Structure 1
Amino acid sequence: MNKVLTFIPILVLLSCGATQTTIIENGKEAKGHLKNGLKNGTWTFYKAGKVDAVGTFVKDQKNGDWSYFYDNGKLHQKGEFRNGKQNGIWQYYFDNGSFMGMGELVDGKQNGVWKWYHKNGNLYTERWYVDGKLMEIKSCFDSRKNVLDCGTISNGNGTMLFHDIENESDTIQEFQYKNGVIKNE
């Protein structure tokens, strides 16, 4: 009889906690816990049956460490959310697993120096941001460490030349900036 009475409170406590939930929305599956109808704790998101993202929710807002993955399972990016916004140092990776770049986000906006790299590990560019606005291109190199022309942005104004480092091609796109943001065409 004592065993039965001890077992009942444990069942009651377990039934009051979060429940494992699977949600399928727009062909994407998500697994995690709901507490009072809100996402709480670690959630895993799937795309075509493969892990797409893993992260933590607190009362339905992204909070804590998050990782996003390529279709091949390799890490694409990782960083932290606070109150639903990206904060802290975020790191990015190529689909082959090599390091692509990193920088700081404050309330979802780029701040400070961001560094991007070629697949061979050599520095591609350093860019300086303030409150999400590109203020200056500090340096730019090709994969063999030769200086590249990446534009003339100063104090948020000028031209940025974007080189396709992910595919190591000679493709260049040109963007005009005014006050740190791309001008509309």
Structure 2
Amino acid sequence: MKNLSIIYIFLLALVSCGIERYDDGSKLYKFYYFDGTLKKTQLQKPGEGIGNGYWKYYDEDGNITKEFQRTGGKSNGMVKFYWKNGKLKAEEFMVFGVLTGSYTSYYERGSKEYLGQKVNGKFEGVWLHFNGDGDTLQKFLYKNGELIGETSLAQTKNNKLK
């Protein structure tokens, strides 16, 4: 019975995956949901190890949800997340699996929601929170992941942040 289970899993993996090979030696792996809809792709260039390369993930309706580069088995570089409507939801910069660098999130209709930086996975420096029209609502100041200051629109004169 155990051997039949292993054979079934192996055959299922073969059916749910496809590979395209290119002249430069790159391979595009395609993985599918049970209904045949594309689930994720991995573009692997020559010399990149197993699991590394450029990945894209899709939901059951075929909409892209996430894309990123993996190096050394970890996310490395800009990671992008998407709303169901295809617009950008968030961008974050990873260095071998650790959030380090810029972070921006967006409302579903496309305007910025938050903008800031992370260092070793922790909030750092000035972070801004915007309303759906692009006006700054709040300004936060972080040091080593700790909130050390905050200004909100209600605390300022003439409804403008300085």
Question: Do Structure 1 and Structure 2 share a fold, with TM-score over 0.5?
Answer: yes
Question: Normalising to structure 2: TM-score of the pair?
Answer: 0.69
Whose helix proportion is higher, 1 or 2?
A: 2
Contact 2:30–2:38 (Cα < 8 Å) also in 1: no
Aligned residues: 130
Residue 74 of structure 1, CA deviation: 0.8
Corresponding position of 1:77: 90
Residue 64 of structure 1, CA deviation: 1.1
Corresponding position of 2:112: 99
Structure 1: segments with no counterpart, 5+ residues: 1-13, 148-185
Corresponding position of 1:45: 57
Residue 126 of structure 1, CA deviation: 0.7
Q: Residues 134, 96 of structure 1: CA spacing in aligned structure 2 closer, same or farther, 3 A cutoff? A: same
Give 1:173-184 correspondences, 5 Å limit. Answer: none
Q: Residues 37, 47 of structure 1: CA spacing in aligned structure 2 closer, same or farther, 3 A cutoff? A: same
Residue 36 of structure 1, CA deviation: 3.6
Deviations 1:137-180 (A, max 9, x none): 1x1016xx648xxxxxxxxxxxxxxxxxxxxxxxxxxxxxxxxx
Contact 2:93–2:101 (Cα < 8 Å) also in 1: yes
Structure 2: segments with no counterpart, 5+ residues: 1-21
Select 2:42's aligned residue among 32, 39, 43: 32
Q: Residues 47, 56 of structure 1: CA spacing in aligned structure 2 closer, same or farther, 3 A cutoff? A: same
Residue 55 of structure 1, CA deviation: 1.2
Please identify the structure whose Cα radius of gyration is greater: 1
SS class of match (2:101): strand
